């Protein structure tokens, strides 16, 4: 396992933390993709499409070369309420609307991950998806506004971080905690096994 190197096409510090948690060696690479949502699309389909799009964009970079030992990892986290995709908040007003939709309700978090490597010299794509139901209690207006001021919601799908200040309002979670953070570790372990790498 020590010989495996993950090429992480993500700027997310949470994904880096999760790879470190598993003791995986990784290198961060930069990938820019258009993540605009063309409705109607199922949130789980959207998450998979964006994850695979990131992988294709990364592979188009001539400096990135996958092998049996160097595996590309991309991921996308998409949040939805009643099938409607909730992206990252554009501004305060957008964020306040999101919080109204999420308050005192259960929403779904879909995280897709894509691994690209080689098996017996042949390039192989593996995409996996985790789905988690997250239930919020009632979100007080005072907390919602203070939370925005903290800066934490700005770059997060759904405008919150499960491991941050919102944790006190999460009543229950059914599914993958690491998936809500941005990288489902159970699915990652399963995907790595396709490439004969075991954690």
Q: Catalytic annotation on 76?
A: yes
What values do phi and psi take at 126, rounded to 5? -130, 125
Helix 141-149 with 92-102: angle, nearest 10 deg: 140
* Token code pair at residue 75: 């991921």
Angle at 45 between CA 41 and CA 50, to 5 degrees: 100
φ, ψ (nearest 5 deg) of residue 92: -60, -45
Cα–Cα distance for residue pair 78/65, rounded to 1 Å: 28
Would you say 94 and 102 are in contact if contact means Cβ atoms under 8 Å apart? Answer: no
Alpha-carbon distance 122 to 119, whole Å? 5
The one catalytic residue in 76, 82, 91, 94 is: 76
In angstroms, the CA 124 to CA 59 distance is: 12
Distance of CA 41 to the CA centre of its chain: 18
Catalytic residues: 76
């Amino acid at each position: 396992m020590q010989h495996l190197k993950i090429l992480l096409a993500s700027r997310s510090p949470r994904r880096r933390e999760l790879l470190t948690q598993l003791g995986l060696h990784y290198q961060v690479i930069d990938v820019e993709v258009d993540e605009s949502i063309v409705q109607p699309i199922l949130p789980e389909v959207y998450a998979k499409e964006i994850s695979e799009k990131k992988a294709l964009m990364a592979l188009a970079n001539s400096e990135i070369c996958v092998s049996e030992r160097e595996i590309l990892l991309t991921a996308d986290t998409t949040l939805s309420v009643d099938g409607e995709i909730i992206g990252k908040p554009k501004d305060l007003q957008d964020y306040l609307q999101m919080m109204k939709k999420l308050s005192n309700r259960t929403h779904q978090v879909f995280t897709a991950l894509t691994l690209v490597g080689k098996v017996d010299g042949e390039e192989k794509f593996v995409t996996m998806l985790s789905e988690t139901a997250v239930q919020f209690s009632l979100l007080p207006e005072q907390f919602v506004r203070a939370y925005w001021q903290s800066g934490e919601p700005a770059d997060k799908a759904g405008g919150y971080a499960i491991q941050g200040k919102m944790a006190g309002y999460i009543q229950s979670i059914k599914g993958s905690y690491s998936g809500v953070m941005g990288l489902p570790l159970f699915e990652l372990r399963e995907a790595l096994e396709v490439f004969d790498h075991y954690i």
